Amino acid sequence: MTDPATTDPAPTDPAARPAAGPAAPTAAGAAPVGRRVAAQAAFEARAVLRNGEQLLVTLVLPALLLVGMTRSTLVSIGTDGAARVDVLAPSVLALAVMTTAFTSQAIATAFDRRNGVLRLLATTPLGRSGLLAGKVLAVLAVEVVQLVVLGAVALALGWRPEVAGAGPALLAAALGTAAFTALALLVAGTLRAEAVLAVANLLLVLLALAGGVVVPLADLPAGLAAVAAWLPSGALGEALRVALLDGTAAAGPLAVLAGWAVVLGAAAARLFRWAG
């Protein structure tokens, strides 16, 4: 009979080591999953907030649009009796979600993929799923910073949001973040880094101006408005405007956003390549 004291410890024991071989190094093991993901999220969020170009796209550009378009009437926007800033603030918040969840995330992930960062992190205890969770949390963290800064600028310009719309607005932002992060990963995981740089910036400008983000659907040419209503950009813009202007949930745009989140998420999961 084997002495129970000399049998191998249970494999679930984190300190389990095969008995053979010279003195094994002590106490290898992973940090708890929450700490790993939080560390990755903080690292990525700091990377965005410290990078000049990323700050330009995620904070300076939306802030300039907000101030510039509120103060000047160069671009005509139908306000239906509401203050101009009350229409523009939700639009700029929609743009902010796109800059962080899509443009900034696509570019960062594409270069991390090309430089082997995704492969290396996949070999640490963080793993691929932890890396994805960290990215999503980092996007949300940067969005909170955007909300605080852009919200403060809008309030200073006289924005009076409908408080009852906070819930639907957060839902729209969450669905929009899911859809655009999935699109970012789809682009970053399939194209060359240089191509991602071009696509991510071009798509941002096109969708912002003609996709129903900064310019409301009602102010777009009829044909374009019909298309934009079915785009994630138009759906996010409308859902945020309805929520923060009327204090209600816009079922149609929210459903469109949810649909995009599912489709883009599935496509990214299928087509994403970890190595560049």
State the residues that interact with other proteins by CB under 8 A.
14, 17-18, 20-32, 35-36, 39, 43, 47, 51, 111-112, 115-117, 119-127, 274-275
**Single-letter amino acid code for the residue at 29:** G
- Least distance (Å) from other proteins to the CB of residue 194? 14
Residue 91 C-beta-side C-alpha neighbours within 13 Å = 28
- Least distance (Å) from other proteins to the CB of residue 212? 32
Strands (E), 141-257: none
Nearer to other proteins, 4 or 52 (CB): 52
- Least distance (Å) from other proteins to the CB of residue 18? 6
Q: How many CB atoms lie within 10 A of CB 106?
A: 28
**Single-letter amino acid code for the residue at 204:** L
Nearer to other proteins, 77 or 122 (CB): 122
Nearer to other proteins, 25 or 223 (CB): 25
CA distances to 70, 71, 79, 172, 267 from 63, rounded to whole Å, are 11, 12, 20, 20, 33
Q: ∠ CA 239-262-113 to the nearest 5 degrees?
A: 105
- Least distance (Å) from other proteins to the CB of residue 43? 5
Nearer to other proteins, 38 or 224 (CB): 38
- Least distance (Å) from other proteins to the CB of residue 114? 9
Nearer to other proteins, 7 or 73 (CB): 7
3-state secondary structure 69-93: HHHCCCCCCCCCCCCHHHHHHHHHH
CA distances to 62, 101, 110, 139 from 106, rounded to whole Å, are 18, 8, 6, 11
Q: How far apart, in whole angstroms, are the C-alpha atoms of residue 57 and residue 261?
A: 23
- Least distance (Å) from other proteins to the CB of residue 200? 16
Nearer to other proteins, 195 or 206 (CB): 195
Nearer to other proteins, 17 or 84 (CB): 17
Q: Which two tokens stand for residue 245?
A: 């202007």
Q: How far apart, in whole angstroms, are the C-alpha atoms of residue 106 and residue 185?
A: 6
- Least distance (Å) from other proteins to the CB of residue 229? 37
Q: Phi and psi dihedrals of 220, rounded to 5?
A: -90, 155
